[in-house]
């Protein structure tokens, strides 16, 4: 059974066909056997039933004639006056009767000898015994009758005795008739019963074949639906993830219970999805790296000049529609000295530390950009100059108070300005730059509003 589940689809379907065909073959064999049996029975019944039925009618007719003859004897009374004619007639009747009975005997004996009688063997024997008994009775009656005829005259009471004997013979014949009728009836009932049995068993087997076929077909369809459903769900997940730009979830691999083409296909598809998932997440990582490279400053990690141009242009567009924003330009004081005194590397560290401290203190909506050298700018969307100055002052103080063991102390100066109508990229930056210049000029480590 395990091998069947692991077989290819073609072998599975072939296997099912073999099961069904074998079942049908058994049904056909059974039908042939049963039909032969019924045919033999019908034959046997026909051999007995037809002649026996004919004989029954003949016997009934003979019986009637015999009655008439006995009645004739009785009416004439004086037997001496009677010609030999009635006796001959009676003998003819007797011969006729015997002939029919011997035919019946032959039919029954033949049936008993030739066939292995399938039904009512005891009844066959019983009829034969009854016929034998009738012959004996009939012989005895005939002898008595003959004697009476030879004497020429018979008393009335003797006739009554004859009549009684004749009535007994009659009853024997009637009994034989009933037995033969019963036998023929039994024969046809027996055949009917077997025909019904045959129909019943064949219908049952046919139904079984139908149910087995139906069950196996539905079972196979169910397997197909399950596996194809899983494959479809996998493909749908991949589609959805790609459409929504989400990473593709790695498929779960189960050890398959049964192996066939569909299981292989499912496994291959999962492998493909897994590879696709890895490829896509790698690609997304590279995209993020490229994006960072394109928008971030390599040394400090702050946004670069290119990003600044983009963001400033967007804020100006918004401001033209009524929004407000401010910028805070900042520059490290005497940075040249830091470089000269502590080296370029220390200068780099100062720039990195400055970026880190400022970034940590900004809101999510604010952004820090490095415009070049030691010059930075903070973009403050929806912030007026006062708020921008407050932030710049807070940052200035924080940086001035920094005491980092591996870095020289340093300060920064700020030039803050708010968007003014008609401002463009250059004008707003120039105003901030001018304010910064003033801050430097006024002694540095200051915030100047422009
Ligand atoms: N270490 C380091 N130094 C830089 C970098 N970019 C520019 N500089 C130096 O920054 C210094 C800027 O000096 P200046 O423009 O004279 O200004 P300052 O010395 O800071 O004086 P003020 O701005 O007037 O206070 C120059 O010596 C540049 O070489 C950088 O990425 N790393």
* 249: phi then psi, degrees, rounded to nearest 5: -65, 135
Provide the whole-model pTM. Answer: 0.52
| Residue to mutate, 333, 339, 399, 410, ligand 1, most ligand atoms under 8 Å from C-beta | 339
Q: For residue 169, count other CB atoms closer than 10 A to its CB.
A: 21
Using CA positions, which residue lies closest to atom 16 of ligand 1? 336
Instruction: Report how far ligand 1's centroid is from the alpha carbon of 405 (Å).
Output: 22
**Buried/exposed 290-315: b ≥16 CB within 10 Å, e otherwise:** eeeeeebbeebebbbeebbeebbeeb
* Cβ of 331 below 6 Å from ligand 1: yes
Using CA positions, which residue lies closest to atom 29 of ligand 1? 336
* Tens digits of residue pLDDT in 196-223: 888 888 888 888 878 888 888 888 788 7
Using CA positions, which residue lies closest to atom 4 of ligand 1? 373
* Cβ of 373 below 6 Å from ligand 1: yes
* Tens digits of residue pLDDT in 316-369: 999 999 999 999 999 999 999 999 999 999 999 999 999 999 999 999 999 999
**SS3 of residue 196 by DSSP:** helix
* Cβ of 297 below 6 Å from ligand 1: no
Query: Could you give all domains of the chain from N- to C-terminal order, each with its CATH number?
Result: 2-215 (1.20.120.1730), 299-449 (3.30.70.270)
Nearest to 105 by CA among 86, 81, 67, 132: 132
Kind and range of the H or E run holding 380: strand 375-381
Distances 261 to 216, 253, 264, 275, 430 between C-alpha atoms, Å:
19, 17, 5, 21, 72
Q: How far apart are CA 380 and CA 365, in angstroms?
A: 7
- pLDDT of the residue at 81: 46
* Cβ of 332 below 6 Å from ligand 1: yes
Nearest to 444 by CA among 400, 381, 398, 389: 400
ipTM value, please give it: 0.97
Question: How far is Cα of residue 68 from the mean position of the Cα atoms in its chain?
Answer: 83
| Residue to mutate, 297, 374, 448, ligand 1, most ligand atoms under 8 Å from C-beta | 374
Instruction: Report how far ligand 1's centroid is from the alpha carbon of 196 (Å).
Output: 114
């Amino acid at each position: 059974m395990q091998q069947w589940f692991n077989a290819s689809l073609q072998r599975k379907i072939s296997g099912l066909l073999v099961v069904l065909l074998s079942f049908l073959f058994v049904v056909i064999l059974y039908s042939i056997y049963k039909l032969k049996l019924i045919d033999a029975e019908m034959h046997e019944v026909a051999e007995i039933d037809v002649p026996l039925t004919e004989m029954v009618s003949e016997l009934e007719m003979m019986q009637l004639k015999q009655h008439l003859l006995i009645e004739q004897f009785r009416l004439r009374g004086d037997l001496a006056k009677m010609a030999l004619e009635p006796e001959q007639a009676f003998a003819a009747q007797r011969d006729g009767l015997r002939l029919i009975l011997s035919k019946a005997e032959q039919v029954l004996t033949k049936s008993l000898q030739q066939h292995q009688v399938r039904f009512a063997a005891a009844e066959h024997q019983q009829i034969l015994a009854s016929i034998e008994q009738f012959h004996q009775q009939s012989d005895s009656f005939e002898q008595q009758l003959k004697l009476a005829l030879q004497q020429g005259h018979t008393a009335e009471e003797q006739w009554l005795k004859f009549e009684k004997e004749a009535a007994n013979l009659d009853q024997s014949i009637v009994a034989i008739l009933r037995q033969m009728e019963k036998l023929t009836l039994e024969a046809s009932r027996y055949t009917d019963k077997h025909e019904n049995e045959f129909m019943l068993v064949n219908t049952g087997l046919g139904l079984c074949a139908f149910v087995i076929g139906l069950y196996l077909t539905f079972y196979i369809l169910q397997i197909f639906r399950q596996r194809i459903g899983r494959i479809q769900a996998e493909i749908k997940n991949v589609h959805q993830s790609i459409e929504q730009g989400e990473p593709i979830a790695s498929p779960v691999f189960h050890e398959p219970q049964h192996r066939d083409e569909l299981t292989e296909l499912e496994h291959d598809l999962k492998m493909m999805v897994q590879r696709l998932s890895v490829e896509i997440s790698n690609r997304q990582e590279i995209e993020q790296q490229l994006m960072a490279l394109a928008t971030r400053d390599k040394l400090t990690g702050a946004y670069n000049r290119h990003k600044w141009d983009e963001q400033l242009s967007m804020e100006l567009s918004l401001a033209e529609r009524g929004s407000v924003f401010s910028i805070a330009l900042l520059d490290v004081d005497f940075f040249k000295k830091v470089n000269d005194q502590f080296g370029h590397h220390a200068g780099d560290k100062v720039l990195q530390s400055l970026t880190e401290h400022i970034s940590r203190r900004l809101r999510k909506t604010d952004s820090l950009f490095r415009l070049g050298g030691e010059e930075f700018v903070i973009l403050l969307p929806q912030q007026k100059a006062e708020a921008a100055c407050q932030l710049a002052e807070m940052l200035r103080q924080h940086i001035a108070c920094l005491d980092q063991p591996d870095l020289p102390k340093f300060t920064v100066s700020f030039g803050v300005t708010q968007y003014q109508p008609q401002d463009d990229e250059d004008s707003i930056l120039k105003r901030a730059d001018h304010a910064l210049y003033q801050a430097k000029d006024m002694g540095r480590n200051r915030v100047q509003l422009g």
